[in-house]
């Protein structure tokens, strides 16, 4: 079957669509940023530059937790709570099926079925390939595009696997950790240093027989959090209990995040943190582009192979080789 070519849409049209809040244009723009094609990347950069003055007006929330902790159920209940308040919410979701099916959109539509049909919500699943716990390389760009399209709250979902937390922490204003009561997660979280990064902890599935355990875990977590130094935000992380299944605790979670925003805006941490994050983004991108440039150059690659041989045979000192190589860049 012959593949149907989509008509080319100009960046002007995409720009106009985004600023009038059109989801189709937003999706197109995100696809452009994710494209590997050089011409698409130029377009995406131009678009982002034009939209930059319209960005920054959302609260960006990272949501992390082990598989099965209840992330998608929580995001759906929390998202519905926010849309009931009239907020437009965008979810950068993990697509659990992406590894098998190479990016199925259906994966997340069924995970968050109710939210997916809400006119105030936009769900963008990201493939987990080549990314940390589901955080796509271009999540930063997606956040800015969603903001330009008028979204008030951006939720970035990630699976709790080591490094991904740091990656998400560098993208968001508020970092929320979901935990199960009595699953032995308490100590694990502390060991990984994840709890130190959290601005808030939510104990999930606090319903039925689990409710008592959840309340106990809340006290334990709050104690554990007191052992940490206050963060740069001068904010004491809170521990809340929720039942997404019964839509309980959502207003409290939102209040905690709003309180955090007020607190950090007053002490100027909010903006300082965002400035810092922009610099981290710049440095990360610069490093990855430099690395790409080095390894994609055939001349340099063959030089590297040659040097590796000499290094192995003890004929060349690695630091001297690295210096010599840099001269070729």
Alpha-helical regions (H) of 52-184: 71-84, 98-101, 106-111, 113-116, 139-148, 163-169
Do 234 and 134 touch, CB atoms closer than 8 A? no
Tell me the C-alpha distance between 28 and 121, whole Å: 17
Q: Residue 17 or residue 96: which is nearer to ligand GDP going by CB?
A: 96
| Binding region for ligand GDP (CB under 6 A) | 65, 67-73, 204-205, 207, 243-245
DSSP 242: -
Give least dist CB 275 to ligand GDP, A.
32
Q: How far is the CB of 31 from ligand GDP (least distance, A)?
A: 24
The Cα angle at residue 60 between residues 38 and 153, in degrees rounded to 5: 105
Shortest CB 242 distance to ligand GDP, Å? 7
Nearer to ligand GDP, 247 or 261 (CB): 247
Q: 55 or 188: whose CB is closer to ligand GDP?
A: 188
Give the separation between CA 305 and CA 322, rounded to whole angstroms.
Answer: 12
Residue 245 or residue 311: which is nearer to ligand GDP going by CB?
A: 245
Strand partners, 179: 203
Pairing of strands 174-180, 153-159: unpaired
Whether the CB-CB separation of 162 and 66 falls below 8 Å is answered with: no
* In the complex, least distance from residue 92 CB atom to ligand GDP, rounded to whole angstroms: 14
Question: Which residue, 211 or 284, has its beta carbon nearer to ligand GDP?
Answer: 211
- Output the smallest distance, CB 219 to ligand GDP, in A: 19
State which residue, 183 or 280, has the beta carbon closest to ligand GDP. Answer: 183
- Measured CA to CA, the distance from residue 148 to residue 48 in angstroms comes to 9
Taking the complex as a whole, the smallest distance from the CB of residue 247 to ligand GDP amounts, in Å, to 9
Query: Where does residue 310 fall: left (phi above 0), alpha (psi -120 to 50 degrees), or beta otherwise?
Result: alpha
């Amino acid at each position: 079957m012959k593949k149907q070519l989509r008509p080319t849409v100009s960046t002007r049209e995409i720009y106009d669509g985004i600023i009038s809040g059109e989801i189709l244009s937003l999706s197109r723009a995100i696809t452009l940023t994710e494209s590997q094609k050089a011409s698409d990347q130029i377009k995406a950069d131009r678009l982002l530059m034009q939209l930059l003055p319209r960005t920054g007006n959302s609260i960006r929330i990272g949501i992390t937790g082990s598989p099965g902790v209840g992330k998608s159920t929580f995001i759906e209940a929390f998202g519905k709570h926010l849309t009931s308040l009239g907020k437009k919410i965008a979810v950068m979701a993990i697509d659990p099926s992406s590894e098998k099916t190479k990016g199925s959109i259906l994966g997340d539509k069924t995970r968050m079925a109710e939210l997916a049909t809400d006119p105030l919500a936009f769900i963008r699943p990201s493939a987990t390939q080549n990314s940390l716990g589901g955080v796509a390389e271009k999540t930063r760009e997606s956040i800015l595009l969603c903001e330009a399209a008028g979204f008030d709250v951006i939720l970035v979902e990630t699976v709790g696997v080591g490094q991904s937390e740091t990656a998400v922490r560098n993208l968001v204003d508020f970092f929320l950790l979901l935990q199960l009561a009595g699953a032995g997660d308490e100590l694990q979280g502390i060991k990984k240093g994840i709890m130190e990064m959290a601005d808030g902890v939510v104990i999930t599935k606090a319903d039925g027989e689990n409710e008592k355990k959840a309340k106990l875990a809340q006290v334990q977590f709050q104690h554990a959090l007191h052992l940490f130094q206050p963060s740069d935000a001068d904010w004491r992380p809170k521990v809340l209990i929720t039942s997404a299944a019964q839509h309980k605790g959502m207003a409290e979670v939102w209040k905690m995040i709003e309180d955090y925003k007020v607190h950090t805006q007053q002490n100027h941490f909010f903006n300082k943190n965002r400035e810092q994050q922009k610099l981290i983004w710049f440095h990360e991108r610069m490093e990855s582009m430099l690395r790409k440039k080095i390894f994609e150059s055939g001349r340099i690659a063959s030089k590297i192979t040659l040097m590796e041989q000499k290094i192995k045979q003890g004929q060349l000192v690695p630091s001297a080789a690295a210096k010599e190589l840099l001269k070729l860049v």
